Chain A
Amino acid sequence: MIRLEKVSSVTVIGGGVAGIQAALELANLGMLVYLVEENPSIGGRIIELNCSSCRLEVPMDCSICPVIPKIVECYHHPNIKILTNAEIMGISGSAGNFQINVLKKPRFINEDKCTACGACTEKCPVEIFDAFNMVKGRKKAIHFPLPQAFPQVPVIDRENCLHFRSGTCEKCSEVCPTTAINFNDEDMIIGVKSEAIILATGLSLFDPSGIREYGYKRYKNVITILDLEQMTSIHGPTGGKIVRISDKKEPKSIAFIQCVGSRSRRTNNNFCSGVCCMYTAKDAALVKILKPETEVYVFYIDLRVFGKGYQELFNKVRNSLGVKYIRGRPGGIWEDPKTRDLIISFENTLTQRVEKLRVDMVVLSPALLPHPNNRKLAEFLGLELDEHGFFKSPNPVSQPFDTTIKGVFTCGYCRGPRGISESATQASAAAGRVTETITLAKMGRN
């Protein structure tokens, strides 16, 4: 079916930190905002992270705590219309009058009826388990999104749900006390009119198994930083405990490896992801705080401590907490078949020595890449992308969040690597820019 919204408004594409922040600012500026998110709930990447800098007591803010209330606020805001499970089908028109077609994929669960009682997830017979993916870990075919995502309404994994595979099972809908589950829910195309568009598509992760010599997905005890974030988060699969996937034992030594797939000609990601040095410092510190006797090593190329309070945090991590920093990018990792320990061979570029290091666990910081959807959106809008798939700006200095098309703005990672703080600031800025242009247009200038 086709439904057409008539109200003029701003559309924000992407429901992560940047998108949410931009939407809130615009909504508070009195505009009607459509927030389009491809996932079943908003929150984006940040809900996969843990709250830990709180515990570090350095002059640096926790990345998560200030954001969570924003997610809830955004979800309840009267001026924000949230379209989850949504995909952009096409965009036409120009500044002041964009016509955006959004495909709202069915969720099969009525958000208003669902009371998040969890009866369905309990009864669901299908359990999906990915030994290498701690983030998703073990879950049912119908499962709740991560605890901070909003709304807390279960999601059905169509690949694995018996109903969608063979039509044999409807246990969840049988047990649902509020009859919120409806398998006949169907696609819906929504037409949205907008005066401006803000792109906040965020990032995607480089798959470290592409760097074969590190053995990610070959060795169980080689994990990514996101897995660690999940482990250390109290809601994670291990309830906040750091364990080796091979034997569920707490590691006595951990090595973090930076720039996996980034700053590398080999993967053509010659850029720096801009955040890894600091979240690694943070997590390394967390490991030390949780278990001081753990040996922690960090392999780095340059320490990117350019932000407010970063150097101070780093000093604390290296000097007071005793995390060992080694300058050099390891050449390879080998697993001791017996103990499942990992042997890292590397050149310490500050001593020019080739050495070997045996650790219980290796944590990789994969490159953060622009979101693949950028290509599609760029096509719809006729935007320019750079060779990596980031949106281009007409002038990176004077117009940092404009795009090559009038009325379309960017914020967050989709314009280039940046952290939560910069993304949020950019989001507010983009909102300011949008109001400026719209008011100017209304005043008949520009």
Chain B
Amino acid sequence: MEEGEETRKFEPKILAFTCNWSSYSSADQAGISRTFYPPNVQIIRVMCAGRVDPLFVVKAFLNGADGVIIAGCHPNYCRYSGGNRQAEIRVKFLKMLMEEIGVDPARLRIEWISAMEGGRFAQVVQEMVGELKKMGPLLLRK
């Protein structure tokens, strides 16, 4: 079949939940330093990665997201100490769930990106888009 055709046409939709204190600024930094990355990502600002309710991720997938990124402060630097670790735990759980229902867990990523690491943010999005293009669209939307 023309899957190769597919992947070339297919532009994945990514949702990124970013911590207000680090990763959101890192996205800004990427812009300031003109480090280009694919525009497939929409950024949602939360106060802390710990705010990201598993429900948000599920809803994102149900609403047609092909991939979700949760980005927070590096392990020792959570503004509220430990919110990022909570997020990590929830992601583990979510990935198990995704495994269960046959969704590739790689569609969900958690990343530590500090306010200065604009390049890192761009890189993560870059990679994710690449992977998702290989996986093809996620067809959960009813």
Query: Could you tell me which A residues sit within 8 Å of B by CB distance?
Result: 50-51, 54-55, 57-59, 61-62, 64-65, 68-69, 147-148, 152, 233-235, 239-240
Contact A65 B77 (CB under 8 A): yes
In the complex with contacts A147-B29, A235-B33, A51-B116 CB distance below 8 A: yes
Q: Give the distance in Å from the alpha carbon of A62 to the alpha carbon of B25 in the complex.
A: 15
Partner of B117, one of A51, A57, A59, A68: A51
Contact A65 B33 (CB under 8 A): no
Which residues in B have their C-beta under 8 angstroms from that of A54? Answer: 73-74, 77, 112, 114, 116-117
Contact B74 A55 (CB under 8 A): yes
Contact B76 A234 (CB under 8 A): no
Is the CB of B132 closer than 8 A to any CB of chain A? no
- The chain A residue with its CB closest to the CB of B30 is A234
Chain A nearest CB from B67 CB (Å) reads 23
Chain A nearest CB from B117 CB (Å) reads 6
Q: Count B interface residues, CB 8 Å.
A: 19
Contact B119 A64 (CB under 8 A): no
Q: Give the distance in Å from the alpha carbon of A69 to the alpha carbon of B22 in the complex.
A: 11
Chain B nearest CB from A151 CB (Å) reads 13
Given A59-B76, A235-B29, 7 other A-B residues pairs in contact with their CB atoms under 8 A: A54-B73, A55-B114, A57-B74, A147-B32, A234-B33, A239-B119, A240-B119
Which residues in A have their C-beta under 8 angstroms from that of B32? Answer: 147, 152
Contact B75 A57 (CB under 8 A): yes
Contact B117 A234 (CB under 8 A): yes
Partner of A65, one of B22, B35, B119: B22
Chain B nearest CB from A403 CB (Å) reads 35
CB proximity to A under 8 Å, residues B84-122: 112, 114-120
Which residues in A have their C-beta under 8 angstroms from that of B120? Answer: 234
Which residues in B have their C-beta under 8 angstroms from that of A68? Answer: 25, 115-116
Partner of B118, one of A50, A65, A69, A234: A234
